[in-house]
């Protein structure tokens, strides 16, 4: 700025001639106005340069955030821990952080000392220094090359299309002789196909290049902005150390987290489910965390650390308005509970266990900013279980392969995406979570195991001479079929009527008689022989006293 400012001053006239100002009356007034204009111009130059200078100074003065010693990833954020050594005589110092830091979470510990003050400054936006994120720089270089390639393909296509258009629109009306007409026809036949041949291949290459550009731009977008902001905080110690002093500080950071991913592979012939758990981790701090000790914690850090207060239990006469208010308050309370995130829990019994959660230590790992990485936590653990086909002919014909698996220990596996497979072949994906030592799993439909439900009779009306009552009766025929060349276990299920009044009775006279499931189902369990079938005559009667109308439900 100094050179440009000097050259600007050198170019200004030493004295402004009296005749150059239209309002000039006497020379002193003219010189006064000229000096005012000169001062205004100089002030504008200085003011325009100040913000850039301040920004450059701030960027040079602020160091990059220190590389973490350890990072603990939670399902919704991360805790970064840094260890440094303070030089003797350092009574105050400045720490820098990515802008996504939670200021209130900063905890500073200096052995034998205490912190007497924390002073935060405003964010400063700076371009990332060279070499800070090698992967971003590689992707930017690749993107530049791809865009040049795209422009080249586009130019070649346009040139060939223009040449083809020239031959297609050749004006034969301007040709006066037959000989020239023949030459033009020969030229068109010769050149037009040659211009058309390369176009399909060039268009395919252009399409692939555009797709790759989109992929690279998406990855760069996941890494955050090319420019990022730093936050600084001045830390003031209670005592100025006279010797080198160890400093440890930690802070919470948004944009960094992990989630569970599972693979469940059913092996019905062996009565096993092969279970594998992986962790998908990501961070968008803008900095490379490779080499830091990575840990996964199974709890959502929450600002709600105290239990909800117990409500009062007033007893008094019923007032409609008061009742409506209490119902509204109850609904809001329930919706508030459901809005809070569900706490994830332990994944393995050999993890580090605290009073409220467990933590999985993975050790130092490569962890660049903007990348999504997968780490295997449990590799091919065997869960034993009895496989059977669930048949619900009242709603669908196909049987679904299921198993109630026994886990090796009590578990609370946090909710995550799962890939389901049967004997190594993927059959679908769905969310998965587990709480306890049993897991009921389903692996999709099997067209060779099916069941049909046909209604053969339906009767309704009033009965009885002295004590009349209303009744509804249904009769169905259920047929389960095994189309496999090996035996299978089936479990046929149908809904059980749930009377809302004690006076309503349910009578079942089915052949064979069903069991009653804890979920409110009628259940028939059988092993079907290869290409075998199983028939059920299912009869349900519902009775109610005279004058008690009821909704049959079916």
pLDDT tens readout for residues 250-265 = 999 998 999 999 999 9
Whether the predicted pLDDT of 13 surpasses 50: no
Q: Which of 63-77, 328-342, 455-469 has the highest mean pLDDT?
A: 63-77
pLDDT in tens, 169-218: 666 566 666 666 667 666 766 777 777 788 888 889 999 999 999 988 88
232, 120 contact by CB (below 8 A): yes
Cα gap 443→452, rounded to integer Å: 21
Q: Return the pLDDT at 366.
A: 85
Burial class of residue 192 (count of CB atoms within 10 Å of its CB; 0-12, 13-18, 19+): middle
68: left (phi over 0), alpha (psi -120 to 50) or beta: beta
Window from 10-14, 164-168, 337-341 with minimum mean pLDDT: 337-341
Break the chain into its structural domains and give their ranges: 2-61, 78-131+227-254, 134-222, 438-545
Nearest to 253 by CA among 117, 403, 367, 375: 367
182, 151 contact by CB (below 8 A): no
Q: Which two tokens stand for residue 273?
A: 């489910």
- CATH no. of 438-545: 2.60.40
Whether the predicted pLDDT of 34 surpasses 50: no
Burial class of residue 429 (count of CB atoms within 10 Å of its CB; 0-12, 13-18, 19+): middle
Q: Return the pLDDT at 59.
A: 45
Whether the predicted pLDDT of 502 surpasses 90: no
Q: If you average pLDDT over every residue of the chain, what do you get?
A: 77
227, 236 contact by CB (below 8 A): no
365, 377 contact by CB (below 8 A): no
User: 78-131+227-254 and 438-545: same fold?
Assistant: yes
- Strands 425-463, 398-422: pairing is antiparallel
Nearest to 414 by CA among 289, 268, 278, 506: 278
Architecture per CATH, 78-131+227-254: Sandwich (2.60)
Q: Return the pLDDT at 9.
A: 38
520, 498 contact by CB (below 8 A): yes
Once rounded to an integer, what is the mean pLDDT over residues 353-378?
A: 78
Q: Return the pLDDT at 431.
A: 93
Nearest to 270 by CA among 412, 434, 380: 380
Once rounded to an integer, what is the mean pLDDT over residues 59-65?
A: 71
Cα gap 457→517, rounded to integer Å: 25
For every residue of 95-144, DSSP letters joined together read EEEETTB-GGG-EEEETT--EEEEEE---EEEPPPTTS-HHHHHHHHHHH
Cα gap 479→450, rounded to integer Å: 8
């Amino acid at each position: 700025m100094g050179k440009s400012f000097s050259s600007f001053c050198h170019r200004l006239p030493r004295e402004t001639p009296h005749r150059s100002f239209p309002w000039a009356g006497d020379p002193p007034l003219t010189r006064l106005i000229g000096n005012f204009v000169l001062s205004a111009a100089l002030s504008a130059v200085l003011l325009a340069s100040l913000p850039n200078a301040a920004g450059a100074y701030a960027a040079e003065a602020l160091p990059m955030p220190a590389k973490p010693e350890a990072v603990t990833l939670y399902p919704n954020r991360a805790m970064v821990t840094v260890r440094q050594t303070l030089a003797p005589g350092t009574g105050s110092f400045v720490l820098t952080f990515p802008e996504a830091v939670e200021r209130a979470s900063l905890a500073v510990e200096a052995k034998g000392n205490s912190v007497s003050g924390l002073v935060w400054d405003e964010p400063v936006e700076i371009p990332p220094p060279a070499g800070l994120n090698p992967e971003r720089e590689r992707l930017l270089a690749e993107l530049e090359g791809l865009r040049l390639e795209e422009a080249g393909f586009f130019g070649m296509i346009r040139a060939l299309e223009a040449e083809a258009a020239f031959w297609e629109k050749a004006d034969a009306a301007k040709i006066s002789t037959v000989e020239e007409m023949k030459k033009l026809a020969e030229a068109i036949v010769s050149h037009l196909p040659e211009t058309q041949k390369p176009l399909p291949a060039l268009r395919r290459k252009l399409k692939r290049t555009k797709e790759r550009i989109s992929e690279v731009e998406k990855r760069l977008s996941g890494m955050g902005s090319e420019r990022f902001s730093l936050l600084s905080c001045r830390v003031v110690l209670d005592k100025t150390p006279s010797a080198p002093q160890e400093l440890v500080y930690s802070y919470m950071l948004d944009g960094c987290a992990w989630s569970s991913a599972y693979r469940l592979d059913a092996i019905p012939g062996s009565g096993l489910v092969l279970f594998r758990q992986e962790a998908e981790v990501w961070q968008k701090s803008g900095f490379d965390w490779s080499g830091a000790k990575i840990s996964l914690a199974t709890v959502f850090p929450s600002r709600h650390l105290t239990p909800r207060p117990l409500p009062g239990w007033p007893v008094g006469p019923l007032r409609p308005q008061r009742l409506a208010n209490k119902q509204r308050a109850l609904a809001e309370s329930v919706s508030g509970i459901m809005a809070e995130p569900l706490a994830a829990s332990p994944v393995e019994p050999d993890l580090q266990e605290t009073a409220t959660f467990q933590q999985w230590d993975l050790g130092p790992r490569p962890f660049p900013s903007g990348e999504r990485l997968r780490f295997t936590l449990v590799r091919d653990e065997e869960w034993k279980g009895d496989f059977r086909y669930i048949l619900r002919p009242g709603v669908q014909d196909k049987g679904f392969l299921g198993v109630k698996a026994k886990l090796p220990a009590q578990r609370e596996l946090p909710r995550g995406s799962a890939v389901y497979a049967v004997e190594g072949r993927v059959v679908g994906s769905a969310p998965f979570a587990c709480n306890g030592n049993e897991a009921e799993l389903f692996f999709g439909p099997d067209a060779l195991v099916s069941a049909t439900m046909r209604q053969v009779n339906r009767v309704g009306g009033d009965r009885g001479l002295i004590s009349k009552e209303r009744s509804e009766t249904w009769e169905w025929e259920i047929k389960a079929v095994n189309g496999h060349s090996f035996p299978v276990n089936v479990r046929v299920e149908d809904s059980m009527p749930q009377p809302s009044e004690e006076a309503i009775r349910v009578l079942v006279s089915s052949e064979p008689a069903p069991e009653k499931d804890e979920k409110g189902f009628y259940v028939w369990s059988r092993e079907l022989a290869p290409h075998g079938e199983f028939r059920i005559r299912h009869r349900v009667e519902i009775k109610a006293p005279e004058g008690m109308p009821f909704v049959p439900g079916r």
